[in-house]
């Protein structure tokens, strides 16, 4: 591991919470595709499978920010454990309802409750922020490392989930995802020394973190970005099937994630000066431009190369986005703010996958890449429209809104001092 990455793990217990985060995030890449594989194998109904997967994604988008708001107020341990138990109960109900052929409405009811799965990535990034918010370079490297971990999950998670469900038994993929979730969350929440200090009710009187104009710009842009991701997944499978090699679709998508993984690892080694808004806009524009070659692909090797280069834009943009959230959202609502970005992505994925499916049915797989191309253009447009908002000096972030009081900021510094002493 290169020295900047070794440096971030010099903090006590940092290896432990990051490893727990890896386990806890695997369900993000395994659950949806595991449900699709399970339902399609047991019932042969791809429409039902896709509907349940979309229900899980949308319920997570609705419930996730509320869970994160409670985490900011009451702490990770008090909120994550009961939320995880509720999600695990829903997963168990879904598996049993599928196994015993219960009515479809029961499947959708359980799928809607699976959305109680907490945003583990946001919890881990909040811990890094608590450790290194006064050391921007270290925090940049930490966010870069976590983006690499995200991509590792998306490279291996679907392969493991699909492989187990097809080679072992249909319910194996979602079942293992639930095991990973339980192990990751309970391991993470047992590590109290690095848990961010919860903020009192008074710190939250200003309402949702979405009151921040900067956060609304980021979320809006990432709805379009999520549409890129969702559309590419669906169109790539259809494109591979149309060219007689459907089994290669997972490998081509893994190359897409690999490009992001490589870019994130390199990005974390670099040091940037100035405000991150300009880098963020450049990343969004690069993502939009990278969709152009996809309109010209004629075979799978060309597609894999095009997706690899498109993937190079993802992780740096995500890393810079989290840095902007950390700047523009009050500290008392940081976890919620990070989760709203993930929510925007989830909503976008649902929109992109459904739109791509409609275009494929109407005009064929080759035309499907028009959808991520259009989503990329929308992301660029929103980015330019909101750039001035993001490029403004970041407000003081100690209070409940974009203009937190100096007194509250002083209290936060005292909390950080106490927490650092506990870590030491």
User: Do 187 and 253 share a domain, yes or no?
Assistant: no
Q: Which residue segment(s) compose the domain that 30 sits in?
A: 13-198
Asked if residues 4 and 268 have their Cβ atoms less than 8 Å apart, the reply is: yes
Average pLDDT over residues 261-269: 83
**Residue 133: helix, strand or coil by DSSP?**
coil
User: Do 154 and 298 share a domain, yes or no?
Assistant: no
What pLDDT score was predicted for residue 110? 93
User: Do 139 and 181 share a domain, yes or no?
Assistant: yes
Is 7's pLDDT higher than 60?
Answer: yes
- pLDDT category, 357, cuts 50, 70, 90? confident
What pLDDT score was predicted for residue 73? 84
Model confidence pLDDT, tens digit, residues 403-418: 333 333 333 333 333 3
Q: Flag whether 204 is in a domain.
A: no
User: Do 167 and 245 share a domain, yes or no?
Assistant: no
Nearest to 225 by CA among 295, 277, 287: 287
What pLDDT score was predicted for residue 379? 93
Average pLDDT over residues 95-119: 88
Q: Flag whether 307 is in a domain.
A: yes
Q: Flag whether 2 is in a domain.
A: no
Q: Flag whether 406 is in a domain.
A: yes
Q: Flag whether 336 is in a domain.
A: yes
Comparing 118-127, 193-202, 361-370, the range with the smallest average pLDDT is 193-202
Q: Which own/partner pairs from 262-266 qualify as long-range (CB within 8 Å, at least 24 positions apart)?
A: 262/311, 262/312, 263/311, 263/312, 263/313, 263/314, 263/315, 263/316, 264/144, 264/145, 264/147, 264/148, 264/151, 264/314, 264/315, 264/316, 264/318, 264/319, 265/144, 265/148
Model confidence pLDDT, tens digit, residues 376-387: 999 999 999 888
User: Do 219 and 283 share a domain, yes or no?
Assistant: yes
Is 187's pLDDT higher than 90?
Answer: yes
* Tokens (6 digits) for 52: 């349940």
Single residue among 163, 198, 233 that ends a domain in this structure: 198
User: Do 183 and 247 share a domain, yes or no?
Assistant: no
Residue with more model confidence, 2 or 75: 75
What pLDDT score was predicted for residue 47? 66
Single residue among 134, 168, 198 that ends a domain in this structure: 198
What pLDDT score was predicted for residue 46? 61
Q: Flag whether 91 is in a domain.
A: yes
Q: Flag whether 84 is in a domain.
A: yes
Single residue among 198, 220, 246 that ends a domain in this structure: 198
Asked if residues 52 and 107 have their Cβ atoms less than 8 Å apart, the reply is: yes
User: Do 287 and 221 share a domain, yes or no?
Assistant: yes
User: Do 317 and 281 share a domain, yes or no?
Assistant: yes
Model confidence pLDDT, tens digit, residues 208-232: 666 777 788 888 998 999 889 888 8
- pLDDT category, 8, cuts 50, 70, 90? confident
CATH of the domain at 131: 1.20.1250.20
Nearest to 21 by CA among 127, 136, 108: 127
User: Do 382 and 342 share a domain, yes or no?
Assistant: yes
- pLDDT category, 201, cuts 50, 70, 90? low
User: Do 98 and 240 share a domain, yes or no?
Assistant: no
| For the chain, percent of residues with pLDDT exceeding 70 | 87
Q: Flag whether 142 is in a domain.
A: yes
User: Do 134 and 245 share a domain, yes or no?
Assistant: no
User: Do 316 and 174 share a domain, yes or no?
Assistant: no
Model confidence pLDDT, tens digit, residues 65-79: 888 888 888 888 889
Is 422's pLDDT higher than 80?
Answer: no
Model confidence pLDDT, tens digit, residues 30-71: 887 788 778 877 877 666 776 787 788 788 878 888 888 888
- pLDDT category, 9, cuts 50, 70, 90? confident
What pLDDT score was predicted for residue 200? 59
What pLDDT score was predicted for residue 91? 92
Q: What's the structural domain count of the chain? A: 2
- pLDDT category, 284, cuts 50, 70, 90? very high
Residue with more model confidence, 184 or 28: 184
């Amino acid at each position: 591991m290169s020295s900047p990455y070794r440096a971030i793990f010099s903090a006590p217990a940092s290896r432990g919470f990051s490893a727990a985060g890896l386990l806890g995030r695997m369900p993000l890449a395994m659950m949806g595709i595991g449900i699709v594989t399970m339902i399609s194998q047991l019932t042969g109904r791809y429409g039902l499978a896709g509907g349940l997967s979309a229900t899980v994604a949308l319920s997570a988008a609705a419930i996730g920010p509320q869970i994160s708001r409670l985490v900011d107020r009451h702490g990770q341990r008090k909120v994550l454990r009961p939320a995880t138990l509720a999600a695990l109960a829903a997963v168990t109900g879904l598996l049993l309802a599928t196994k015993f052929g219960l009515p479809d409405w029961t499947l959708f009811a359980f799928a809607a409750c699976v959305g109680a799965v907490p945003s583990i990535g946001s919890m881990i990034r909040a811990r890094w922020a608590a450790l290194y918010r006064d050391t921007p370079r270290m925090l940049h490297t930490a966010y870069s490392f976590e983006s690499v971990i995200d991509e590792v999950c998306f490279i291996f998670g679907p392969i493991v989930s699909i492989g187990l469900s097809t080679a072992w038994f249909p319910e194996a993929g979602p079942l293992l995802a639930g095991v990973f979730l339980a192990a990751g969350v309970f391991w993470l929440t047992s590590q109290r020394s690095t848990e961010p200090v919860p903020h009192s009710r008074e710190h939250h009187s200003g309402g949702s973190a979405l009151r921040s104009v900067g956060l609304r710009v980021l979320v809006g842009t990432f709805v379009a970005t999520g549409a890129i991701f969702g559309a590419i997944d669906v169109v790539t499978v259809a494109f591979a099937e149309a060219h007689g090699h459907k089994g290669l679709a997972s490998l081509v998508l893994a190359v897409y994630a690999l490009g992001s993984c490589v870019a994130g690892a390199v990005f974390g080694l670099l040091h940037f000066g100035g405000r991150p808004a300009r880098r963020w806009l450049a990343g969004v524009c690069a993502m939009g431009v990278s969709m152009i070659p996809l309109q010209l692909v004629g075979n799978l090797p060309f597609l894999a190369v095009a997706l690899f280069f498109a993937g190079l834009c993802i992780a740096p943009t995500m890393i810079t986005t989290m840095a902007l959230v950390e700047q523009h959202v009050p500290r008392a609502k940081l976890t919620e703010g990070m989760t709203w970005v993930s929510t925007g992505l989830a909503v976008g994925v649902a929109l992109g996958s459904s739109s791509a499916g409609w275009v494929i049915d109407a005009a064929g797989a080759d035309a499907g890449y028009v959808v991520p191309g259009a989503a990329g253009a929308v992301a660029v447009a929103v980015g330019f429209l909101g750039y001035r908002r993001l490029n403004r000096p970041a407000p003081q972030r100690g209070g409940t809104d974009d203009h937190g009081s100096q007194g509250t900021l002083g209290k936060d510094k005292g909390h950080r001092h106490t927490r650092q002493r506990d870590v030491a």
